[in-house]
Chain A
Amino acid sequence: MRGWHHVGMTAASHDPGEPASAKAVSIPLAARVHLAHAVVQHLAERAGADLLHIKGPALLPDLRPATRSSSDVDVLVRPTHLHLLVAALEGAGWTKRSDFATGSVFAHAANWWHDDWGYVDVHVHWPGVRLPPEVAYAAWSADAETLDIAHVPCPVPDRTGQLLVLVLHAARSTDRSDVEYAWDNADAEQQAAVRTLARTLDAEVALAAALGELEQFRDDPAYELWRLFSQGGGTRFQEWRARFIATPGTRERAQLLAASFRVNRDHLGMELGRTPTRRDLRERQLLRVRRAARELRGLLGSRSGGTA
């Protein structure tokens, strides 16, 4: 840099305690996400919560295109440490925006919002992995490495684990850009290591879905679920039916059924911009029942060749 400019320092927060001379400026999203990873790491360390930073700035630089940016923080927490992390986040001003049971069909993540640091998505397991979450976390973290994010050391999965996270994530959509960038550029030895880790985590079906090899698992209970996701998702009824088939155990299936029909209070709250009332929930539940009935009639009609 040539030349000397007036020293420029401005506060980037809306803290009422900031100096009167400081101008409130917004931080670019990419910078905020980097800083937020560091904040979450700081809180987790002090709370004694083990976690791994995943995706976005937590990826090794050559695993994602330079133009690809992240809008929130993603972490995978040791399941038995979840309560420690949640207490630390909420103690530092984060508020929960969605719950595990209602966040997605996989019930794998919940998210929290902070006015300065944005969203953090807390995952207790990664969709596609069928090992119990606690056992899976041990496998993810076995070869964990440390990566500086905003100049703060953060634990991340090793290269093999990062590749598997990306590819399994891609299995839930029709967007193949991560597969093309990360998987297709990996050498044969690296790809073999990812397949081995997928076997360890019992994640071979989801991996196959991402790689276009799903037909090898036609007889697997999870086949239909991953076929739907890799084709861009089906109706809500089809997704839950596939998830039901892929879920082992009567108790787990009963829990899934109950969750499938429960109105997502978190999402409804975000949609309405206020806390839903009991009446809001009842009306939405009625709508859901009617929609489910319509979808079921459509499915039965298409099977019988009808047009309903």
Chain B
Amino acid sequence: MTTYAIADDIAWVSREELDAGGLPVAYVAPLPHGPAVVLEGSACLVWLLVAQGGTLEEIVEEAAELAGLAPSEVAADVEVLLTDLVAMGVVRTQ
């Protein structure tokens, strides 16, 4: 079963760690050269779930629950985002 986790040598900080409120945002940077990427809204939500680690199904399920939607409504977006994050090297699969 493939699980997703944040790759090694990645620095990131989310808006919740900097100030309260506002749209969820995470700033993610491969070390040491970047470039930094901004993950906003639902993308940040998925990133925070990846930080916990999990399979595609687990992340979809949790994201859907947090968004108050059915897993089928968010699955495609989550999968595309995870594929992009893996391609960028900021998320690894194992």
Contacts and interface: CB of A to CB of B under 8 A. Distances in A.
B40 A10 contact: yes
A35 B38 contact: no
B41 A13 contact: no
A8 B31 contact: no
Interface residues of A, number: 35
Interface in B1-39: 6, 9-13, 15, 17-19, 24, 27, 29, 31-39
B68 A3 contact: yes
Q: Give the most central of B15, B38, B45: most A CB within 10 Å.
A: B38
Contacts of A35: 11-13, 27, 29, 34, 36
A68 to B, nearest CB: 12
Contacts, number: 120
Interface string A232-274: 0000000000000000000000000000000000000000000
A206 to B, nearest CB: 32
Contacts of B74: 4
Interface stretch (A37-45, A210-218, A299-307): A37-45
Interface in A157-181: none
Contacts of B17: 34
A16 B38 CA distance: 17
Chain B interface category by residue count: 35 or more
A202 interface: no
Contacts of A39: 11, 29, 31-32, 34
B77 interface: yes
A12 B37 contact: yes
Interface in A1-27: 1-13, 15, 18, 25, 27
A4 B69 contact: yes
Nearest to B41: A5
Nearest to A43: B32
B68 A27 contact: no
Interface string B51-85: 10000000000000011110001100100110010
Given A38-B29, A42-B32, A150 B13 contact: yes
A287 to B, nearest CB: 41
Contact of B84 (A9, A18, A30, A117): A9
B27 A6 contact: no
Nearest to B14: A31
Contacts of A150: 11-13, 29
Interface in A85-140: 92-93, 116-117
A84 interface: no
Contacts of A9: 37-40, 43, 81, 84
Contacts of A93: 33
Contacts of B38: 8-12, 25, 27
Contact of B73 (A4, A10, A13): A4
Contacts of A38: 11, 29, 31
Q: Give the most central of B29, B33, B80: most A CB within 10 Å.
A: B29
Interface of A: 1-13, 15, 18, 25, 27-28, 30-32, 34-35, 38-39, 42-43, 66, 92-93, 116-117, 150-152
Interface of B: 6, 9-13, 15, 17-19, 24, 27, 29, 31-43, 45-46, 51, 66-69, 73-74, 77, 80-81, 84
7 contacts: A2-B68, A6-B41, A7-B43, A7-B77, A9-B43, A34-B13, A42-B9
